[in-house]
Chains A and B, each alone.
Chain A
Amino acid sequence: KNEVEQSPQNLTAQEGEFITINCSYSVGISALHWLQQHPGGGIVSLFMLSSGKKKHGRLIATINIQEKHSSLHITASHPRDSAVYICAVSGAGGTSYGKLTFGQGTILTVHP
């Protein structure tokens, strides 16, 4: 079992729909990251959070430390949101601080 699991692996939506991507992890962490990767490889950090909830524009990220679970929500989805969304966790001990362990990613396609 991977240390970081994402669901779903693929997600198709119509423009305007509310989208949720889930992430579960099994190790102790110092922070959880949500990343966006567009075709061609470039990765952009969307959120880094260690508790509670963060919001940026139409994106919302939440984390439940006790349940080791995080969600990324996209409100009023748009075709430009189509990308791979990756959940990653930073290790919590010793030399693991900062080192990221990644989920497999969720491929999101938003149709007009």
Chain B
Amino acid sequence: DTGVSQNPRHKITKRGQNVTFRCDPISEHNRLYWYRQTLGQGPEFLTYFQNEAQLEKSRLLSDRFSAERPKGSFSTLEIQRTEQGDSAMYLCASSLAYADTQYFGPGTRLTVL
């Protein structure tokens, strides 16, 4: 257990539905990252926060994706109008500062039917 938690651990949804995932980082960590991993591939960067500010968003993220980190604590990642191509493991990681080791959560596995 790295101290980073993600909920839910698994989500099965039908195409077109909206889903929201939550990440609780290690409490004193300023940086929070979201990554996505499809089967057999390495993770890909989605977005990251420095405290409550979203500093970068990947070109992989369509307008259907939105992330927030209110008050610089937990973060949510919402996917609207899900598509089958959104099926993946969504990983959250946090670090104390930009140059530090990242601690990963267990991930949320999304299956879109």
Contacts and interface: CB of A to CB of B under 8 A. Distances in A.
Interface of A: 4, 30-31, 33, 35, 40-45, 48, 86, 88, 90, 95-105
Contacts of B106: 40-42
B70 to A, nearest CB: 21
Nearest to B45: A99
B48 A98 contact: yes
A12 B25 CA distance: 35
Nearest to A94: B56
B20 interface: no
Majority SS of interface residues in chain B? strand
A90 B56 CA distance: 14
Interface of B: 2, 31, 33, 35, 37, 40-45, 48, 55-56, 89, 91, 93, 95, 97-104, 106-107, 109
A104 B44 CA distance: 10
A42 B55 CA distance: 25
B3 to A, nearest CB: 12
A100 B99 contact: no
Nearest to B95: A98
B42 A86 contact: yes
A10 B6 CA distance: 29
A98 B99 contact: yes
A43 to B, nearest CB: 4
Contacts of B48: 98-99
B104 to A, nearest CB: 4
Nearest to B58: A99
A44 B104 contact: yes
Given A100-B45, A103-B42, A44 B2 contact: yes
Nearest to A50: B99
5 contacts: A42-B107, A45-B103, A48-B100, A95-B55, A105-B42
A100 B83 CA distance: 26
B35 to A, nearest CB: 7
